[in-house]
Structure 1
Amino acid sequence: MAMTLEQLRDKYPDAMVDTFGDSPELASELTTLIIAGKKVASCGSLRSWQEQERLPQPGGYSIILNREQQPVCVLRTTGLFLTRFDRVTPEMAMLEGEGDLSLDYWRQEHQRYFQRAGYFHTEMELIFETFQLVEVI
């Protein structure tokens, strides 16, 4: 039987609760990649991070929700660092596990993502997060 969000909060009392992407479809796609072990990193704009009340910390846990807002897995943040969109490397793009794993694909899709969010510039600052899968729910 799957654990409820309440049970997971009891098990990981300081865990953040989060989703990936900006649509139910993207959330589903990205969580599938995480569970398959293909996605071990993510990034967000520094601007969006500064608007959050609580931020991931190295060693901290996150309970990840799917498109139905149900918990699907728990992640542990292994690293955080600041970079710029135009300084993302092919290795970093590959860690995100999306598409054909190329830097070109990463740039195209992330530019679209940030444009949908209302802010994109090739020199925009990003927070790049690496994580490990702790538990699949």
Structure 2
Amino acid sequence: MNTNTKSDIQKFWNRFLSSNPDYSTKTIPPHYYFCDNKKDADECADLVVKDIKKATATSRWWFNQHKECLPKVDDLAIVTDWIGNPKAIIETTKVEHVAFNKITAEFAEIEGEGDKSLEYWKKVHLAYYEREMESYNDEFDENMIIVCEHFRRIYSEV
């Protein structure tokens, strides 16, 4: 993790606020990276900056397991790369709870990863969900609920 992350995140947020005063009443949002490895996290951050990635798909299992609140419309977040460098600020625009086996090609395309196909989405997300559940001795189920969070990029510096 970048030792200057907290300071860098605060400076990034302050620069956003100086050019977006309508958000001045908001507190600094959480920051995180997508995925569970450097290559994918950095690639996803880049896709957000380029306004290609406009959604993410976290299992409801993960939210329950980590006692995290589910996302809701108007939530803000700072997307970072793997080491914690801030890359973009996103705002949640829509949240849907969908079984893995009911994810659509349209959602896979909006998520913007790989070739944007449903086949690619299912392959990489199945592997991801299996990895995240493995250490808890839980098993993936095709009916598992996925929290499909749509967002818009509201700020980046590139």
Give the TM-score normalised by structure 2: 0.78
Q: Which amino acid aligns with 2:82?
A: R
Gaps of 5+ in 2: 1-6, 18-25, 134-138
- Counting only pairs closer than 5 Å after superposition, residues 6-85 of structure 1 correspond to structure 2 as 6-9=10-13, 11=17, 12-50=26-64, 51-85=66-100
In structure 1, the partner of 2:136 is none
| Percent of paired sites with the same residue | 26
Query: What residue is the counterpart of 2:9 in the other structure?
Result: 5
| Residue identity in the other structure for 2:148 | F
Q: Separation in 1 of the partners of 2:84 and 2:67?
A: 19
Question: In the alignment, is residue 129 of structure 1 matched against residue 149 of structure 2?
Answer: yes
* Greater Rg by CA: 2
Q: For structure 1, which segment, 91-100 or 12-21, has the greater mean C-alpha deviation from structure 2 after superposition? A: 12-21
Instruction: Assess if the C-alpha contact under 8 Å between 2:89 and 2:153 holds in 1.
Output: yes
Check the 8 A contact 1:16/1:56 in 2, yes or no. Answer: no
Residues 54-104 of structure 1 show CA distances to partners (whole Å, capped at 9, x for unaligned) of 443211110111122111110001011111000001101111101111111
Given candidates 107, 115, 129, the residue that maps to 1:92 is 107
Conserved? CA contact 1:62–1:74, under 8 Å: yes
**Contact (CA 8 Å) 2:91, 2:153: kept in 1 or not?**
yes
Contact 2:10 2:28 (8 Å CA) reproduced: no
Q: Which residue of 1 aligns with 2:121?
A: 106
**Structure 1: gaps (5+ residues):** none
> Deviation at 1:8?
4.1
Structure with the higher helix share, 1 or 2: 2
Q: TM-score, normalised by structure 1?
A: 0.89
| C-alpha distance in 2 between matches for 1:34 and 1:126 | 20
More strand by share: 1
Count, aligned residues: 135
